[in-house]
Every structure is written in structure tokens, then in C-alpha cells.
Structure 1
Amino acid sequence: MTEAGRRVSTVSNWVALVASKFSRAALPLEANLLVVLAAVALPWSTSAVAILFGFWLLSLVRLLPTFDCRAFLRLLADPICLWPLALVFLALVGMLWADIPWQERLQGFSPVAKLLALPLLLYHFSLWQRSIWVFVGFLVSCTILMGLSWIVWFAPELALASGRSPGVPVKNYIDQSQEFALCMVALTPFIFAFYKQGRYAAALGCAVLVLGFFANMAFVVSARAALIYVPVLLAVLAFVHLDRRATALLFAGVVVLAATVWFTSPYLQGRIAAFAVEYRDYQQNIAASTGRRLEYWQKSLGFFADAPLIGHGTGSTRHLFEQAAVGQTGLAAEITKNPHNQTLSVAVQWGIVGIAALYAMWAAHLLSFRGQGLANWIGLLVVVQNLVSSLFNAHLFDFVEGWMYVLGVGIAGGMNLRAQRRSGGYQGLSADDPRTDCADAPGHSRL
């Protein structure tokens, strides 16, 4: 080989080596950005979220050679993964005793299947330094949605779709309230933190966003369940971040603000007054939101009593309501596959065994976010909000709220696992994992 040929060969080898290193480092970054984009898309489009998570799973397949199988198996045995997987397994085997067509059984399994993403998110994001990007992307997306909500409230003709509630540009007011309430409470501690640090512009920006989310829920549109879970989230805020004096000031301010909103918001007055009207409709067998829930809960308790141990099987809820509606009129003839209560949704399908798995999962996730720091704060809020709002909806199985839970627990839990690994408490990452190279390479700032 000539001298020129050797030089060309050397250059080619170096180019190939650099390209392979770049490709190796780019794979995890691609997977991470797909999850960030899914979090950004969540307030806007269910289809986009499903597509992005599909691509994310494909990217994980390409990363399989880098997985530390022993560490991943140890993670699966941890209660934070074990109980969600137990609920998925129960839904899977529950299809065997459901007395309905297989298509309906598979449809009943589908809402539970999202919990399979939890262990993958936990492991994957325990290896990425910039997991906070997911939360920032979700916050920015919700902020844009909040701005658009104000616009379409003042100018309904600018709404992206017709037939929605005023102030709801996309999806529905229940999803929108869930998103706005989470962002509002999650941002509140940053107002105090930035103010103490002398970063007054940042503190003011957070305060403006918090007030914007609050005012939107108070004057534009909100779910009535928010009247329950927002005070609970504020109580969590006080317990975690405030001393007694600050807690007293916070709740005094909340009382004054609530009273002001009550006297200045016809929308909120109407939403609360509707409870009494809808309850009277329920007594007269007239369909309305409150009456429907009471009817669904009453019938679901009866279905649970008929099969208390292992339930009627996966996807059986709609079939049971169809049987109970035969020959009935009004509310009694209502048919649904969603009893609008997470515990009852599980109880009807999988009985006491399912209830035990559900509450064990919630308890395990609550206990995993007992510490200090951003990851624990966000993870705790996500679990508490899902648990409380599930009193009035089956939010773990709903698309938006369910993925909020899976993303919140998965990313925040992964951040905690990363912190434990760096302190020697979690051996979940091999030394030659490309995600270590990418995250810890010189020139990359740490969060």
C-alpha cells in the first residue's frame, strides 16, 4: 500500500471510530428527547403521545445491548415496580374468567398496559442527567395551553375545535384542570426559593404563572374534583416546604383569595350550585353528572358484592352495566365501562385482590418520594393528585391522567435512583454504558 493509501485508510478508520462513538452517544439522547416530546404533546394530543412512545420503545430495543440485566431485574423486584407489574399481571390473567368476547377483554387490558412503561422509565432515566427536561417541557406546554385557554375564552371563534367548553382549546376541562393544578402547586415553592436567593425576576415569573393557572381554573373552567384535590395538594405543599408560621400565612391567604374568587366568579358559583340541582335530578331519575356518578357507584358496589374475591374479569364492566340496564329507564338505563372511581373500577374487575394491588402500588410510590429535592416533590404531588382525583374518576386508567402518573413517577423515580447510584446506594448503571458517557462527558453541565 502506498503512503497516500495508508493515510486514506488511517483517516477512514478515525472517521469510522468517531461516527460509531457519536452514534453510540446519540442513541440514548434520541430516546430521552422522544419522552420529552411526549410530555410536551400530552396536554394536546393523545395520538402524538402514543406515536412518540412507540418510537421510544423502538429506541430502547436498539439500546438493549447496553442494559445491565442484573440491575434491571433488581429494580423489577423493588415495590415501586413490583406492584404496578402485579396490577398488570392481574389484568392479564383476569381476561381468563371474564364472560365477554375477547375483543372486549383486550380493550379492558389496554388502559392498564401503560403501567408496563414504569420500570423502563425508571431504569432509563436513572441513567440520564437531564431528566428535568421532561418536567420543563410539560410545564412549558401547559403554560402555552393556559394562554390559549384565556384567548379562546375571550374569543371563542378562535377555538381549535367546536363543541368544547368555553376556555378549553383541546381535549376536555377535566384533563386541563388536572394539568393546570399540578403545574400551579409544583411551581409554588420556587417562588419562595428564588425570592430567598435574590432572584426576584425568576420569583416574579413563577408567581405570574401560578396566578395565571389559578385564575384560569377559578374564572374560566375547571373540574369540580379540583375543589377537592387542590386543597389536598396545598396541604402537602405546607407539610413539605413550610414552617408553622408560613403555613398559617399560606392558608390565611388561601381563605382570603377563595372568598374573593367566590364573590367575583359567577362560573365557580354556578359549578358549586349545580351539585344541589343535579342531586335533585338524581332523585327524580334524571341523568346529570352528579347523578350518574351516584348511580355508577351504587351499581358497581353491587357488582363487587357479587364477586368480591377476584371480580368479574378484565373488561367486564360495560357488560355488567348492560345487563343491569335491561328494562330500566332514565339513570338506571345508563351504560358505561367507567364507573368514575378508580377503586370501584378495579374492584368490579379483580375484586379484593385488585384493590390490594392498587393500594399497595400507591403506598409504595408515596413512600418512595419521602425525601427532599425536586424529584421527590414532583413525584409526591403526582401520586397524591392521582390518588385523590381517583375518588371521582378512574384516573389511573384514563389516558392523560394515567400517563401523567406514569411519566411523573417514572421520571422522578429515575432521578432518585440516579442520585442513589451516585451515592453508592444503587448499582443500576454499568461503567461502559453510553448514557454515562453522554451525560457525564466533559463540557456537560450538571443540574
Structure 2
Amino acid sequence: MTIQPAAWAGPADARPWRSSATLFQAADVLAALIAASLPWSTTAPSIFVGLWLLAVTPTIDWRDYARSLTRSAFALPFVLLLLALVGTLWSDGAWADRLHAIKPVVKLVLIPPLLYHFSRSERGFQVCLAFLVSCALLAVYSWIVLLDPTWKLTATASAGVPVKNYIDQSQEFTLCAFALALPALTFWRGGSVIATAACLSLILLFVTNMVFVASARTALLCIAVLLALFAWQHLSRCAALLLLAGALAASALAWTASPYLRQRITDIAVEYQHGREDISRASTAQRLTYWRKSFSAFVEAPLLGHGTGSIKRQFERAARGESGLDAEIVSNPHNQTLNVAVQWGLLGIVLLYAMWIAHLRLFAGEGLAAWIGLVVVAQNIVSSVLNSHLFDFHEGWIYVLGVGIAGGMALKTKAGGQP
């Protein structure tokens, strides 16, 4: 889907919000609070999002905002939500399931106002810094919890995970580590040893936590892809080969030094081989079963799918007369494409990938904002192979905030403002 962009209105066109500078600044502060609270809570970010909308709405020049909606990066989240709403009409799922399935899509429509706001704001990097500092504190606290579990803030299922779960924690740390990669390289090339060492120390904090404390295998896949992306974007061929050699050496060292990491990798084969006999150790076998059933459901209704909230009903039908894994009933196939395909068919898949591509195009330029946004979108696409991360609460909000804030900064840079 291609929507021709209108000419982008830069900061000079932002006169309406100058009379509400206090609200504009409050919106920046609230965005920072959303970012800082996201690694620790689900309730606090939701509250701050509501307050952010209240603060930012009076600052919007609605004519200018309407023109921005001609851009695909702005419009496609609304189109996806429209499809989810209309999809309830042909869904065979219960109405409770239909309404519940709309909620993960609703948050995507915060991307356009975030893009618009941070194309005018001067504080986008401060919001990114709030998220980085919060994640760094979480990484330190994670080591404390590993050594003394009584320090846990909530009852989590994994050692060394003080809040939420190891998947969310790994996604945050991966994002932060690679967001810091470009500043580290820039400082190194500029001869700033102290700044380079600070960036590398933070990267090491996040990476060692994933190696020795808690890591999701999805994050390990993302790391491999993001390493290749970083080398392709920012390194010469010789430097890329050195990075590859260093990464292989570091991986070998991590494999040797971390029994935890070895177990996480070798468990893949165990989960596949024994998952059908022991569902408690069936992560790999579960995913393969979910994917097979979801693909079969998609084939039955390839064009428009079975409707919003229909995944659970399709699994109920497939479970009749089955046992073990084949009898499991879920509403999440742990693959973003299949999640969309079962509900909205090929139309949904086209819109999903069109949105991803439109957001990737936002970050085609140079600079730190473009790199952060590129990491956010690439991480979401890769991790969505093994999960429905765009629709999950935590990873979905990382995507919304990352694309909205970094995308706004990138648009500001392209319009001639300060990066």
C-alpha cells in the first residue's frame, strides 16, 4: 500500500503550540515517564499514556496533523485498527474475544501523535535517555535479585528477573545495547576515550546479564540480526570482518563460561523431542504445533481471515478429539504474521508488512535517531517470527514509543531542524 506523502511541515509551522508551551513541556515529561516506567510496570505506563494524551491534544495543530496523515507511516496504524474493528463483523469468535483482540491494535494509533509531537519537540533524546537509565538500573537490580531472590519486587518465574518476565527483560537489554553501539563507535572515531568506555561499559552490563542471568532465545536471534545490520550500516568491510571475528570469539567465551546459556540453547532440542510427552517442557514443540494449526486456519479463509478475535475458536475446533499438545487451546500462535493471517487473511498481512516497511523507511537516513528507530523496527520484525510481539503489551509499547519518538526526531532532522 502506497500513500503519497505531502510536504512535511517543519518546526516553523508549529505556531499553535507556542501559546501552550507548558502543556507541550508536560507532554515531553510524561513521555519520559512512560519510557522510564515501562521496564518496571504495566499500570504506570498506561496511566502516563492517558495523561500524555490529555497534555498533547491541545498543542496539536489539527490541520497540520491531518496533512501528516497522508504519509503511510502515520496512516497505516489507523488502517490496521479500522480492519480490526470491521473484522469483528465476520468473526466467529465470542464477542468477549473480539473486543479483547482489538486492544493490542489500539495502541498502534499512538504512533502518529508521537511522530507528530516529537517532530516538533527538542527533548526526544531525553526520553530515550530515560528509558536507557531505567533499563540500566533494572540490569543492576537483576544481578542483586539473582544473588538474593528476596529482593524481587514481584513473584516472577525466573531467577534474576525482578519484574515481569525474562522475555521482556531481554528485549529491553538488547535494544539498549544496540542503541548504544553507534554512540560508542562515534565517540571512538572522535577520540573521546571516556565516553567510549562509558558506552561500552553499559553495553557490557546488558550483554553479560543476558549471558549469565536471564535471556530469551528470541533475543539471541535478534542479536545476530542486529549485529549484521550494524556492520552493514556503519562499518567498512574490514571492520565488519573484525566485528564478526570478535562476535564469534565472544560467543565461544560465553558458551564456555555460562552453564545457563548452554542450557538455554541445548533445551531447544529437548523441548522438541520430549514436548509431546511433557507439556511443561514443550516450548519448541508448542510453537511448531501452534504454527501448523494457525496456517491450516489461514488456508481455510485466506483473503479476509476468520475475523477479529477468532484465533481461540479456531484452536477449539482443531482440538476436538485430540490429546496432548494438539488439544491445547490458545489465542496467540506466537508468530505475528500468523496472528494477523488467521484473523484478517492476506489483507491483514499486506497491511502489517506495509506498516513495517513504512516505518523502516522513516529511518533511512543518518544519525542516532535513525539508528535507534531502525533497531526498534528490525528487532520487532525479527522477534515477531517467534512471538506476536507487535500485539504483546510490553514489546508492543516499545515499538510504539520507539517508532513514535525516534521517528519524530528523524522527521525533524529531515525537515532541517536540529537532530
TM-score if structure 2 supplies the norm length? Answer: 0.93
- Counterpart of 1:358? 352
Alignment of 1:366-381 (within 5 A): 366-381=360-375
* Alignment match, 1:137: 130
State the match for 1:395 in structure 2: 389
Q: CA deviation at 1:60?
A: 2.5
Please say if residues 112 and 404 of structure 2, whose CA atoms lie closer than 8 Å, have aligned partners that are also in contact: yes
Superimposed CA distance per residue, residues 181-202 of structure 1 (whole angstroms, 9 cap, x where no aligned partner): 0111111222222223232221
Larger Rg: 1
Q: Which blocks of at least 5 consecutive residues in structure 2 are unaligned?
A: 1-16
Partner of 2:27: 31
Deviates more, 1:262-271 or 1:285-294: 285-294
Cα 1:163/1:38, change in 2 over 3 Å? closer
CA distance in 2: counterparts of 1:60 and 1:101, whole angstroms = 36
Decide which moves more: 164-173 or 94-103: 94-103
Deviates more, 1:192-201 or 1:136-145: 192-201
Q: Specify whether residues 224 and 141 from structure 1 end up closer, same or farther in structure 2 by C-alpha distance, changes over 3 A only.
A: same
> What is the distance in 1 between the residues matched to 2:355 and 2:57?
27
Looking at structure 1, the residues matched to 315 and 362 of structure 2 have their Cα atoms a distance apart, in angstroms, of: 37
Contact 2:93 2:308 in 1 (8 A): no
1:285 and 1:332 in contact (8 A); partners too: no
1:71-105 deviation per Cα after TM superposition (whole angstroms, max 9, x unaligned): 21221110111222221111111011112332221
- Residue 163 of structure 1 and its aligned partner are, at CA, apart by 4.2
Match 1:106 to one of 99, 104, 107: 99
**Are residues 269 and 362 of structure 1, via their aligned partners in 2, closer, same or farther at CA, if it must alter by over 3 Å?**
same
1:28-427, aligned counterparts within 5 Å? 28-63=24-59, 67-282=60-275, 284=277, 286=279, 288-422=282-416
Q: Equivalents in 2 of 1:162, 1:182: separation in Å?
A: 25
DSSP-derived class of the 2:374 partner:
helix
Q: Which amino acid aligns with 1:301?
A: F
Letter in 1 for 2:123: R
**CA 1:322/1:145 → structure 2, altered by over 3 Å: closer, same or farther?**
same
Contact 1:41 1:49 (8 Å CA) reproduced: yes
How many residue pairs get matched? 402
Paired residues of 1:182 and 1:381 also in contact (CA < 8 A): yes
Greater mean deviation of Cα atoms: 200-209 or 346-355:
200-209
- Where does the alignment leave 5 or more consecutive residues of structure 1 unmatched? 1-20, 424-445
What letter matches 1:217 in structure 2? M
CA contact (8 A) 2:272 2:285 kept: yes
Alpha-carbon deviations, 1:13-63, whole Å to 9, x = none? Answer: xxxxxxxx9983211001111111000011010110111001111112333
CA contact (8 A) 2:156 2:163 kept: no
Tell me, yes or no, if the aligned pair for 1:338 and 1:394 is still in contact at 8 Å.
yes
The alignment partner of 1:370 has SS state of coil
Percent pairwise identity: 52
CA distance in 2, matches of 1:248, 1:420: 32
Q: Which moved more, 1:155-164 or 1:388-397?
A: 155-164
The whole-number CA distance in structure 2 between the counterparts of 1:420 and 1:136 is 22
Provide the secondary structure at the position in 2 that maps to 1:129: coil
Q: Alpha carbons of 1:281 and 1:375: their partners in 2 closer, same or farther (altered >3 Å)?
A: same
- Work out the CA distance in 2 between the residues paired with 1:197 and 1:418: 25
Q: Which residue of 1 aligns with 2:13?
A: none
State the alpha-carbon separation in 2 of the partners of residues 286 and 148 from structure 1.
32
Distance 2:103 2:154 in 1: 27
